[in-house]
Homo-oligomer: A and B are copies of this chain.
Amino acid sequence: MPEAPTAGTRREEVLHIAAQLFAEKGFKNTTVRDIADAAGILSGSLYHHFDSKESMVDELLVRFQTELFDRYDEILASDLDPRAKIEAAVRLSFETIDQRGPEVAIFQNDAAYLSSFDRFGYLEDRNRQSRQIWMTLLSQGVDSGALRKDLDIELVYRFIRDTVWVAVRWYRPGGKSSHHDVANQYLNILLEGITHG
- Taking beta carbons and an 8 Å cutoff, which residues of A are in contact with B? 25-26, 28-29, 83, 109, 112-113, 145-148, 151-152, 155-156, 158-159, 162-163, 166-167, 169-170, 177, 182, 185-186, 188-197
Contact = CB atoms under 8 A, between A and B. Distances in A.
Nearest to A25: B113
Nearest to A142: B194
B195 A113 contact: no
A193 B190 contact: yes
A28 B30 CA distance: 11
A162 B166 contact: yes
A193 to B, nearest CB: 3
A152 B175 CA distance: 15
Nearest to A141: B194
A186 B28 CA distance: 34
Contact of A155 (B148, B156, B169, B182): B182
Nearest to A155: B185
A162 B148 CA distance: 24
Contacts of A28: 26, 28-29
Contact of A194 (B113, B151, B167, B169): B151
Identify the 7 closest CB pairs spanning chains A and B, nearest first. Answer: A193-B193, A192-B193, A162-B166, A163-B163, A191-B195, A28-B28, A155-B185
A123 B148 CA distance: 39
A159 to B, nearest CB: 6
